[in-house]
């Protein structure tokens, strides 16, 4: 049986450290860290994510404000909101919950967020810095995965890391981080041919495909380290992209769903919010 990579426990530890650091920062500067979240529409998954982010922020002593708008919001209105938040001295982090309605140019609005306040690290400024290997604000999910690997003393150096999925939020930044950590990185996607012949070579396999239980033991090499980014709700139950029962004996390490990558994403958001704060409040 592979060892469980307990993201939930690690996230709890990090949230506790963030809480202590937040208290110290408030005492030192007299300013409370403040995260502003823009939520457009009523997508149930986004609602769940945003309320988890709000709860975790409050528990860590970070102020959070949710700005709710309905899907009829115009691009100009959204840009106005972002500009106001950029200029608001009391706001240190800005998060635009994705997805946003199709009539808004998401690339344009994401890049309107002041890079100093871009807690998601989705702006071109931080994407470029990450790809160049410089210090950057890094998207929370891949950052959380790197923290899990580090906590369990898994060094990617020299390992073949295969990332399934090429999204801006997970796959691409994950590949950059693993490359920066000296892994040999392969990215697969929906057009990849003979995918199992690639995933079977993975020492570290990060799966972010959004298909419940897609990855069974035929995809993995014996002793592989498995990271499951998927969360799908089927008949009220949560499943990852990896079929846990099928792979658990063959893997050396595995993140469970729930309790693996998900809680780490939120913990990293808190860390990124403090990172922004420390860069602004001096």
In the annotation, is 42 catalytic? no
- 6 vs 120 by CB, closer to ligand GUN: 120
140 near ligand GUN, rule: CB under 6 A: yes
Q: Which stretch binds ligand GUN (CB under 6 A): 79-87, 91-99, 176-184, 240-248?
A: 91-99
Q: How far is residue 18's CA from residue 78's CA, in Å, rounded to a whole number?
A: 30
- 161 vs 231 by CB, closer to ligand GUN: 231
Q: Which of 118, 244, 80 has its CA nearest to residue 128? A: 118
Catalytic residue among 6, 117, 118, 120: 120
Quote the least distance from Cβ 98 to ligand GUN, whole Å: 4
Quote the least distance from Cβ 209 to ligand GUN, whole Å: 15
In the annotation, is 43 catalytic? no
- 203 vs 241 by CB, closer to ligand GUN: 241
Binder among 96, 205, 206, 207 for ligand GUN (CB under 6 A): 96
In the annotation, is 53 catalytic? yes
85 near ligand GUN, rule: CB under 6 A: no
Q: Which stretch binds ligand GUN (CB under 6 A): 60-68, 75-83, 92-100, 210-218?
A: 92-100
Binder among 6, 21, 118, 120 for ligand GUN (CB under 6 A): 120
Per CB under 6 A, contacts with ligand GUN among 155-214 are 169
Quote the least distance from Cβ 78 to ligand GUN, whole Å: 14
17 near ligand GUN, rule: CB under 6 A: no
Q: Is the dihedral of CA 264, 265, 269, 275 positive or negative?
A: positive
Using CB under 6 A as the criterion, which residues of the chain lie in contact with ligand GUN when the complex forms? Answer: 95-98, 120, 140-141, 169
């Amino acid at each position: 049986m592979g060892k469980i990579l307990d993201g939930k426990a690690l996230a709890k530890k990090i949230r506790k450290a963030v809480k202590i650091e937040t208290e110290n920062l408030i005492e030192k500067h007299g300013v409370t860290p403040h995260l502003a979240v823009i939520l457009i529409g009523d997508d149930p998954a986004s609602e769940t994510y945003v309320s988890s982010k709000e709860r975790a922020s409050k528990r860590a002593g970070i102020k959070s404000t949710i700005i709710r708008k309905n899907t009829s919001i115009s691009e100009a209105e959204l840009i106005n909101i972002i500009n106001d938040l950029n200029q608001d001295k009391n706001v240190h982090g800005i998060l635009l919950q994705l997805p946003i309605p199709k009539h808004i140019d998401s690339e344009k609005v994401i890049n309107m967020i002041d890079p100093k306040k871009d807690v998601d690290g989705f702006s071109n400024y931080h994407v470029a810095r990450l790809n160049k290997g410089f210090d950057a604000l890094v998207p929370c999910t891949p950052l959380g995965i790197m923290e899990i690997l580090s906590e369990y003393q898994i060094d990617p150096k020299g390992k073949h890391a295969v990332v399934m999925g090429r999204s801006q939020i997970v796959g691409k930044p994950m590949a950059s981080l693993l490359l920066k950590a000296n892994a040999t990185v392969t990215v697969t996607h929906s057009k990849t041919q003979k995918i199992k012949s690639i995933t079977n070579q993975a020492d570290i396999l990060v799966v972010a495909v959004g298909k419940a239980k897609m990855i069974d033991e035929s995809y993995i090499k014996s002793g592989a380290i498995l990271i499951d980014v998927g969360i799908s709700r089927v008949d009220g139950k949560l499943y990852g992209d990896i079929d846990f029962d099928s792979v658990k004996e063959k893997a050396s390490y595995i993140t469970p769903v729930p309790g693996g990558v998900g809680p780490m994403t939120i913990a990293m958001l808190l860390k990124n919010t403090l990172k922004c704060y420390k860069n602004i409040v001096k």
